[in-house]
Amino acid sequence: MRRSTALFAICLAVTGAQGINPNVPYRGEFVFSRIRYGSLGGWGFRGSTWAHDYPRADQHLSRILRDLTTIDATAAGSNVFDLSDPDIFRFPIIYLSEPGYWVMDGLDVPRLREYLLKGGLIIFDDFEEEHLLNVEAQMRRALPELRPIEIRIDHPIFDSFFRMKTIDFPHPMENRLRARYYAIFERNDPSGRMLALINHNSDLAEYWEWSATGMFPVDITSDAYKLGVNYIVFGMTH
Protein backbone atom coordinates (compact mmCIF):
# COMPACT_ATOMS: atom_id res chain seq x y z
CA MET A 1 0.00 0.00 0.00
CA ARG A 2 1.31 3.43 -0.92
CA ARG A 3 2.20 5.50 2.14
CA SER A 4 0.57 8.83 1.42
CA THR A 5 -1.62 11.36 3.09
CA ALA A 6 -4.61 9.36 1.87
CA LEU A 7 -3.69 6.59 4.31
CA PHE A 8 -4.62 8.76 7.22
CA ALA A 9 -8.24 8.88 6.09
CA ILE A 10 -8.58 5.48 7.80
CA CYS A 11 -8.65 7.30 11.13
CA LEU A 12 -12.27 7.75 12.20
CA ALA A 13 -13.66 9.98 14.89
CA VAL A 14 -13.95 8.50 18.36
CA THR A 15 -16.71 9.77 20.59
CA GLY A 16 -15.22 11.74 23.46
CA ALA A 17 -15.49 10.09 26.85
CA GLN A 18 -17.34 11.74 29.70
CA GLY A 19 -14.68 10.51 32.11
CA ILE A 20 -11.50 8.46 32.19
CA ASN A 21 -11.96 5.24 30.28
CA PRO A 22 -10.91 1.95 31.93
CA ASN A 23 -7.37 0.87 31.17
CA VAL A 24 -6.90 -1.88 28.61
CA PRO A 25 -6.30 -5.33 30.17
CA TYR A 26 -2.68 -6.34 29.71
CA ARG A 27 -2.23 -8.83 26.84
CA GLY A 28 1.28 -8.02 25.65
CA GLU A 29 0.07 -5.52 23.02
CA PHE A 30 1.27 -1.97 22.53
CA VAL A 31 -1.17 0.33 24.32
CA PHE A 32 -0.87 4.10 24.20
CA SER A 33 -0.16 4.96 27.85
CA ARG A 34 -0.67 8.47 29.12
CA ILE A 35 0.62 9.85 32.43
CA ARG A 36 -1.81 11.59 34.79
CA TYR A 37 -0.43 14.17 37.19
CA GLY A 38 -1.55 16.89 39.54
CA SER A 39 -1.28 20.41 38.17
CA LEU A 40 -2.88 23.82 38.34
CA GLY A 41 -5.78 22.12 36.62
CA GLY A 42 -6.23 19.70 39.51
CA TRP A 43 -6.76 15.96 39.49
CA GLY A 44 -10.14 16.06 37.79
CA PHE A 45 -10.65 14.97 34.19
CA ARG A 46 -12.06 17.83 32.15
CA GLY A 47 -9.73 20.82 32.13
CA SER A 48 -6.74 18.97 33.54
CA THR A 49 -3.58 19.59 31.55
CA TRP A 50 -2.55 15.94 31.49
CA ALA A 51 -5.77 15.07 29.64
CA HIS A 52 -5.44 17.43 26.67
CA ASP A 53 -6.51 15.61 23.48
CA TYR A 54 -7.54 12.50 25.45
CA PRO A 55 -8.84 9.97 24.45
CA ARG A 56 -9.17 10.56 20.70
CA ALA A 57 -5.50 11.38 20.03
CA ASP A 58 -4.38 8.24 21.86
CA GLN A 59 -6.82 6.00 20.01
CA HIS A 60 -6.28 7.55 16.59
CA LEU A 61 -2.50 7.13 16.71
CA SER A 62 -2.94 3.55 17.95
CA ARG A 63 -5.17 2.75 14.99
CA ILE A 64 -2.63 4.19 12.55
CA LEU A 65 0.11 2.08 14.17
CA ARG A 66 -2.01 -1.06 13.94
CA ASP A 67 -2.91 -0.51 10.29
CA LEU A 68 0.45 0.67 8.92
CA THR A 69 3.11 -1.16 10.91
CA THR A 70 3.80 -4.63 12.24
CA ILE A 71 3.44 -3.41 15.84
CA ASP A 72 0.69 -5.31 17.62
CA ALA A 73 -1.15 -2.20 18.77
CA THR A 74 -4.65 -2.08 20.20
CA ALA A 75 -7.03 0.67 19.13
CA ALA A 76 -9.71 -0.53 21.53
CA GLY A 77 -8.62 1.98 24.15
CA SER A 78 -5.65 3.49 25.92
CA ASN A 79 -4.17 3.63 29.39
CA VAL A 80 -3.97 6.39 32.00
CA PHE A 81 -1.42 5.87 34.77
CA ASP A 82 0.03 7.79 37.67
CA LEU A 83 3.83 7.68 37.50
CA SER A 84 3.84 5.87 40.85
CA ASP A 85 1.83 2.97 39.38
CA PRO A 86 4.10 -0.08 38.93
CA ASP A 87 2.01 -1.15 35.92
CA ILE A 88 3.89 1.40 33.80
CA PHE A 89 6.72 -1.17 33.61
CA ARG A 90 4.49 -3.30 31.36
CA PHE A 91 4.51 -0.56 28.71
CA PRO A 92 7.82 0.58 27.17
CA ILE A 93 6.59 4.04 26.08
CA ILE A 94 4.66 6.61 28.12
CA TYR A 95 3.28 9.97 26.98
CA LEU A 96 2.92 13.17 29.01
CA SER A 97 0.94 16.20 27.83
CA GLU A 98 1.49 19.83 28.85
CA PRO A 99 4.62 19.18 30.95
CA GLY A 100 4.94 22.87 31.72
CA TYR A 101 2.40 22.18 34.49
CA TRP A 102 3.85 18.83 35.55
CA VAL A 103 5.23 18.42 39.06
CA MET A 104 6.32 15.06 40.47
CA ASP A 105 5.24 13.94 43.93
CA GLY A 106 6.31 11.23 46.35
CA LEU A 107 7.25 8.04 44.55
CA ASP A 108 7.13 9.70 41.13
CA VAL A 109 10.81 10.70 41.08
CA PRO A 110 12.41 7.32 41.89
CA ARG A 111 9.74 5.48 39.87
CA LEU A 112 10.42 7.56 36.74
CA ARG A 113 14.17 7.10 37.14
CA GLU A 114 13.78 3.34 37.53
CA TYR A 115 11.40 3.13 34.57
CA LEU A 116 13.71 5.04 32.23
CA LEU A 117 16.92 3.28 33.28
CA LYS A 118 15.25 -0.10 32.85
CA GLY A 119 14.46 0.63 29.21
CA GLY A 120 11.43 2.91 29.12
CA LEU A 121 10.92 6.02 27.00
CA ILE A 122 8.87 9.07 27.97
CA ILE A 123 7.52 11.43 25.29
CA PHE A 124 6.66 15.05 26.17
CA ASP A 125 4.28 16.93 23.89
CA ASP A 126 1.93 19.92 23.79
CA PHE A 127 3.90 22.72 25.43
CA GLU A 128 5.54 25.96 24.38
CA GLU A 129 8.31 28.44 25.05
CA GLU A 130 9.36 28.88 28.71
CA HIS A 131 7.53 25.70 29.78
CA LEU A 132 10.65 23.89 28.63
CA LEU A 133 12.31 25.12 31.84
CA ASN A 134 9.92 23.05 33.95
CA VAL A 135 10.51 19.94 31.84
CA GLU A 136 14.24 20.34 32.39
CA ALA A 137 13.80 20.97 36.12
CA GLN A 138 11.56 17.94 36.67
CA MET A 139 13.81 15.64 34.64
CA ARG A 140 16.85 16.79 36.64
CA ARG A 141 15.09 15.49 39.75
CA ALA A 142 14.90 12.00 38.23
CA LEU A 143 18.10 12.00 36.15
CA PRO A 144 20.43 14.66 37.59
CA GLU A 145 23.41 13.27 35.70
CA LEU A 146 21.79 13.72 32.27
CA ARG A 147 20.75 16.74 30.22
CA PRO A 148 18.54 17.36 27.17
CA ILE A 149 20.37 17.52 23.83
CA GLU A 150 18.81 19.06 20.73
CA ILE A 151 18.30 16.61 17.89
CA ARG A 152 17.86 17.43 14.22
CA ILE A 153 16.47 15.74 11.14
CA ASP A 154 19.57 13.55 10.75
CA HIS A 155 18.75 11.66 13.96
CA PRO A 156 17.53 8.09 13.22
CA ILE A 157 14.20 8.68 14.98
CA PHE A 158 13.12 10.80 12.02
CA ASP A 159 13.79 7.92 9.62
CA SER A 160 12.65 4.93 11.68
CA PHE A 161 9.55 4.19 9.57
CA PHE A 162 8.75 7.27 7.51
CA ARG A 163 11.62 9.31 6.12
CA MET A 164 10.75 12.82 7.21
CA LYS A 165 11.46 15.47 4.60
CA THR A 166 11.17 18.23 7.17
CA ILE A 167 10.65 18.57 10.91
CA ASP A 168 10.08 22.32 10.72
CA PHE A 169 6.62 21.61 12.01
CA PRO A 170 3.99 24.33 12.61
CA HIS A 171 2.21 24.50 15.94
CA PRO A 172 -1.54 23.99 15.35
CA MET A 173 -2.58 27.00 17.47
CA GLU A 174 0.51 29.23 17.40
CA ASN A 175 1.68 29.57 13.80
CA ARG A 176 4.59 31.78 14.83
CA LEU A 177 6.15 28.84 16.69
CA ARG A 178 8.21 26.09 15.08
CA ALA A 179 8.97 22.84 16.79
CA ARG A 180 12.36 22.03 18.27
CA TYR A 181 13.28 18.56 19.41
CA TYR A 182 15.36 17.51 22.39
CA ALA A 183 16.21 14.13 23.81
CA ILE A 184 17.86 12.70 26.90
CA PHE A 185 20.27 9.86 26.26
CA GLU A 186 22.14 7.37 28.39
CA ARG A 187 25.56 8.79 29.27
CA ASN A 188 24.62 12.04 27.46
CA ASP A 189 25.62 10.24 24.26
CA PRO A 190 23.36 10.99 21.24
CA SER A 191 24.36 7.64 19.76
CA GLY A 192 23.15 5.85 22.88
CA ARG A 193 19.68 4.80 24.00
CA MET A 194 17.06 7.54 24.18
CA LEU A 195 15.31 7.88 27.54
CA ALA A 196 13.14 10.94 26.89
CA LEU A 197 11.90 12.74 23.78
CA ILE A 198 10.87 16.37 24.16
CA ASN A 199 8.68 18.05 21.51
CA HIS A 200 9.10 21.74 22.27
CA ASN A 201 6.78 24.33 20.70
CA SER A 202 4.74 21.45 19.39
CA ASP A 203 1.35 19.80 19.83
CA LEU A 204 1.24 16.65 17.73
CA ALA A 205 -1.69 15.24 19.69
CA GLU A 206 -3.89 18.17 18.63
CA TYR A 207 -3.49 17.06 15.02
CA TRP A 208 -4.17 13.42 15.96
CA GLU A 209 -7.27 14.29 17.95
CA TRP A 210 -8.96 16.31 15.22
CA SER A 211 -7.73 14.37 12.17
CA ALA A 212 -11.18 13.05 11.30
CA THR A 213 -12.78 16.51 11.21
CA GLY A 214 -10.74 18.45 8.66
CA MET A 215 -9.86 21.10 11.24
CA PHE A 216 -6.22 21.19 10.10
CA PRO A 217 -4.63 20.77 6.64
CA VAL A 218 -4.35 17.17 5.51
CA ASP A 219 -0.64 17.35 4.68
CA ILE A 220 0.30 18.72 8.11
CA THR A 221 -1.94 16.22 9.88
CA SER A 222 -0.32 13.46 7.84
CA ASP A 223 3.15 14.60 8.90
CA ALA A 224 2.01 14.69 12.54
CA TYR A 225 1.01 11.05 12.25
CA LYS A 226 4.28 10.19 10.54
CA LEU A 227 6.20 11.70 13.44
CA GLY A 228 4.07 9.80 15.94
CA VAL A 229 4.56 6.50 14.12
CA ASN A 230 8.31 7.12 13.92
CA TYR A 231 8.46 7.83 17.64
CA ILE A 232 6.71 4.61 18.59
CA VAL A 233 8.62 2.44 16.11
CA PHE A 234 11.92 3.91 17.26
CA GLY A 235 11.01 3.51 20.91
CA MET A 236 9.97 -0.12 20.41
CA THR A 237 13.09 -1.08 18.47
CA HIS A 238 15.94 0.84 20.15
Instruction: Identify whether 2 is part of a domain.
Output: no
pLDDT tier for residue 216 given thresholds of 50, 70 and 90: very high
Would you say residue 3 has pLDDT above 80? no
Instruction: Identify whether 106 is part of a domain.
Output: yes
pLDDT of residue 17: 41
Phi-psi category of 97—alpha, beta or left, where left has phi over 0 and alpha has psi -120 to 50? beta
| Model pLDDT for residues 41-60, shown as the tens digit of each residue | 444 454 589 999 999 999 99
Instruction: Identify whether 212 is part of a domain.
Output: yes
- What is the extent of the structural domain holding 190? 27-237
Instruction: Identify whether 5 is part of a domain.
Output: no
**CATH value at residue 95:** 3.40.50.12140
pLDDT of residue 21: 93
Instruction: Identify whether 65 is part of a domain.
Output: yes
Would you say residue 4 has pLDDT above 50? no
Instruction: Identify whether 124 is part of a domain.
Output: yes
pTM of the predicted model over 0.85: yes
pLDDT of residue 42: 42
Instruction: Identify whether 22 is part of a domain.
Output: no
Instruction: Identify whether 4 is part of a domain.
Output: no
| Model pLDDT for residues 136-152, shown as the tens digit of each residue | 999 999 999 999 999 99
12-30 average pLDDT score: 74
Count of domains for the chain: 1
